[in-house]
Structure 1
Amino acid sequence: MPSSCQEIRQELIECMLKSNCVLVKRNTVAECFKSENADDVPSECQSIRKSYAECRRGMIDPRKRFRGNATQ
């Protein structure tokens, strides 16, 4: 995995491991993001997940491959 997305991925993991969905309800991270449990995920973790998805998408998009994942 490209190192540019690795930091965001690690941040997402740490955020989810601190959430009530994982700690209190004992769900897995994948279960927490499913539609019935999506309300239990903090908004901070949701925004990190969106950033991670954009980073991964940027690695595939040929227009961004030359420019990098830098935000404009």
Structure 2
Amino acid sequence: MAQPACKTVRDDLVACLLRTDCVIKSGKTPAECIRSPQELPLQCQHLITAYSDCKKGLLDMRRRFRGNHLSNPSDRKSAAVDAKLAAQEVAGDVDPAQGR
């Protein structure tokens, strides 16, 4: 049986949310924390965007015929890597001049 198209992005998002202070220190559920994304780390915010884009892609007829860009495993991995790199650049861990 094939995996649903957005399962990997969703699993990454859930794992990210479970590591946040909102869940650990405040004791809120991930669903409660996702309602105020400004308080979440940038990586989780990017994963929220990637997950919503993936879900929208399932409903968009043009993407259904052309293929959901996040339904390929390599594209999902690159989206997660891009989210991690963007979070590192904002945190100052990566020099943007070095490239990806």
Distance 1:19 1:69 in 2: 29
Kindly, what percent of the aligned residue pairs are identical? 37
Runs of 4+ in 1 over 2 A off after TM superposition: none
Amino acid at match of 1:56: K
Aligned residue in 2 for 1:48: 47
Whole-Å separation in 1 of the counterparts to 2:47 and 2:38: 15
Q: Give the structure 1 partner of residue 56 of structure 2.
A: 57
- Provide the aligned length of Structure 1 versus Structure 2: 68
What secondary structure, in the 3-state scheme, does the structure 1 residue paired with 2:6 have?
Answer: helix
Larger radius of gyration: 2
Uncovered stretches (5+) of structure 2, i.e. residues with no partner? 71-100
- Alignment-mate amino acid for residue 68 of structure 2: N
- C-alpha separation in 2, matches of 1:39 and 1:54: 18
Normalization by structure 1: what TM-score?
0.84
Structure with greater contact order relative to length (CA < 8 Å, sep ≥ 6): 1
Which residue identity is paired with 2:20?
Answer: S
Letter of the structure 1 residue corresponding to residue 46 of structure 2: S
Correspondence for 1:6: 7
C-alpha RMSD of matched pairs (Å): 1.5
